[in-house]
Amino acid sequence: MDRREMFAAVGAIGAGTAASAGEPHGKAAAGAGPLTGPHLHFCGIHMAKKNPKLQFVTQHYCAAHTGGADGDVFQCVLFDGTGRNAKLVGVEYLISDAAYRKLPDDEKKFWHAHTYEVLGGGLIAPGMEPKDETAFMKVVLTTWGKAWHTWPDSSTAVPTGEPLLIWSIMGDGQVDPKVLADRDKQFKVDTLKVREARVKEFGLEPPSVSLPKDLNAIGRQWTDAGDDKPTKKN
């Protein structure tokens, strides 16, 4: 299956692309299962909400769970690399902005926005054609993610320690320069060039949202105060 077929098969959260075709929940052909269908791979930099200095290059492999009452959900397994022996370090769920708005505040504190990750160039989809990556990022832009790293320190031999609630980088100067440089080198990308291209394509400036003050902080998509609305490109 090529990338265009994948976009037709994988449901986009809250967007007009087609939902993934598959068997109803609980029914599958012999040998089939949740991991046998099409998926999307993208790469971002995660940070621990309780300690933003803890940052990780994280590989997401996501498939759509479709047909929910509040729209589709991307279900992602998270790895510390792309090789066959990469460690499965956690899970993430992506939902639409409309679904997020229905959540109570006690639940919203677990969800992070993806606006800066997209517009700032921190989120990339290695291997996708540029046109397909742009289309995908337009879908992800206003989604929210709930992620936990259950293998919080992937340098350990086995997953030890308390799971980490993950937050997203939401403003300039928040990313660890070394982590970003290592990611760019690995995938042969230039984050600044990606940022410039996306700001031009989307016509929006990257957000400026401060780091969370504590684990109970509720995220915002664009600004620290006032209407949480985007700023058009100057």
pLDDT, mean of residues 108-121: 98
Residue type, 106: D
Average pLDDT, the chain: 88
- The model's pLDDT over 137-189, given as tens digits with 9 standing for 90+, comes to 999 999 999 999 999 999 999 999 999 999 999 999 999 999 999 999 999 99
pLDDT at 18 over 50: no
Question: Could you tell me what percent of the chain has a pLDDT over 90?
Answer: 77
More confident call, 42 vs 23: 42
Separation of first and last alpha carbons in the chain = 40
Is a pLDDT exceeding 50 seen at residue 2? no
- Whole-structure pTM value: 0.88
pLDDT tens digits for 37-63?
Answer: 778 999 999 999 999 999 999 999 999
- Other C-beta atoms within 10 Å of 129: how many? 12
